Structure 1
Amino acid sequence: MSVDLNHIIIHARDNRESAEFLARVLGLEVGTEWGPFIPVATGNGVTLDFAAIPAESIVMQHYAFLVSDEEFDAALSYIADTGITYYADPHMKQPGEINHHHGGRGVYFLDPAGHGMEIITKPYASHEPTPVAA
């Protein structure tokens, strides 16, 4: 049996605002509200279900999205055109820059709830375990 991630719940101050924000950046559709959730489905079938909770209960999380070069260009253009601050690094020390890790491009930015979002054009190389010396 294969195991696939189906959905994840993302806490937000305003679930509609956060869902629409990410959908606009990534060029995705906001789904129909279902109970307390506003869904955004990704291309690989994983649904991001945004749920509103009190702001003081939100703990920053990190979400990375693998996109094509064309999707990256469109997302970065939207981010820059709307004045969203983006960074080349996850520590947010290199504003207005992109990185070129693993032969691709990547940027980091915050969503309305303060979650760290990342878009990359190449997946990170897998980390091989370090052999144990005999």
Structure 2
Amino acid sequence: DDARAGRGEMGGNNSGWYVKGLRIFCGFPRHAKGAWCAIFGSAKIKQGYLSFKMDPPFALSRGAYRLVMNIGESERGEFITVPEPGFACWKRRGWTALWRKAHFRIMTGYDVETDTMHYVAGNENALCRVGSLKHGAWRKDLIKMVTIR
């Protein structure tokens, strides 16, 4: 399913069948507004926790936003400078990007020798994307990185 996840999402962002399904899975109303990358991340975090028969530590994308913006109000959310798999990352989109213009990714790996971050993300192209930012390129536009474990 993830291979077809974002098909059709780019033009009519957040309006496709897959995103609506993820919204429902995450407990949001079917037509709720929200960033598709955050909805994708929320669903993947929830699936990960449920696979270990655990409840997610916060209210998915809305809770993740609060986790990062109000770091002192959460027991989780320690700021990270060295990435590890499972960390949540927010990256700028464009030169003048503010928080409303950030893109959410989940780290899947980090290579210390090449300073390469591997990630999975929704809404980077017409499909979900598994990618990497090599040779420290991830540091350029990184807004924040937090642990969600």
Q: TM-score, normalised by structure 2?
A: 0.26
Which structure has greater helix proportion?
2
- Which structure carries more relative contact order (alpha carbon 8 Å, separation 6+)? 2
Q: TM-score, normalised by structure 1?
A: 0.28
Which structure has the larger Rg? 1
